[in-house]
Amino acid sequence: MRSVFTCLLVIGLFGCIASNTLAQAPTASDEKALAVIAKSVTQLGGERYLKVTSQVGKGNFSSLRDGGVISYQSFLDAIVFPDKERTEFKGSGSQTIQVNTGDTGWIFDGDQQLIKIQTPVQIENFKRGIRTSLDNLLRGYWKGQAAVSYVARRQGGLGRRNDVIKLTYNDGFAIEFEFTDDGMPVKAVYKHKNLADEDIKDEDRYAQFVDVDGVKVPFIIDRFMDGEPVSRINYESIDLNKRIPDSAFIKPASVKDAKKSVNY
């Protein structure tokens, strides 16, 4: 459920993870947050959810502005949790491939017929995408790098209030996650700096959960910036625990090699 937003941050369609181990025991607030996480894991499939190691998804990505679609692409996204991802975008006759593995990454630009090494900024954007993902929270990949706490109950619609928990990394970066009373994920809320060094509020909203081999996965993820819709990811299919070859993440030696299809 990290989704292709991670890749989109790197490619630029949207305008330092610490490693210290937390020493103190959980507070009462922390225990309440952990209880919310446990309830959500149960809702999404329990042990089946926790044992997911890879995900291959196909679907469509739409960029939005002023309530309308301004661009449309199909995508094929392959993830090996927690930090390997390959996403192929196709649309209007062009192709882009973005691959990240931990602290490294490359991009194939089909328009320019070039293979590019990702910049430090692009790598950091990828890491931010991991940090803000639902899977990162619920599967506990953050442990040793962040602290979790219970925030409050927040209005979640007519006659409904959501539980809000916060994940705060050792460097101060924080994400709030909202869950319904029965533990279903609703959204992730965080901030990033734009080119003018202004804070922008991001929201990733989850919808249309579908049962895939006993695991519930959101097939629609909408991105909002400062309250305005900017994109939608709409999955057509998702396969879990598929074998993804290591070769899918290795930088190709040539443009010809970059164009070769990967079989999942």
Mean predicted confidence (pLDDT) in 181-197: 92
Count of CB atoms within 10 A of residue 201's CB? Answer: 12
pTM of the model: 0.88
CA 4 to chain centre: 6
Q: Residue 7: its pLDDT value, please? A: 61
Most confident listed range (48-52, 89-93, 189-193)? 48-52
**Helix boundaries (H) for the chain:** 5-11, 28-44, 47-50, 120-131, 134-138, 255-258
Say which residue, 10 or 80, is predicted with more confidence.
80
pLDDT tens per residue, range 55-95: 999 999 999 988 888 888 999 999 999 999 999 999 888 89
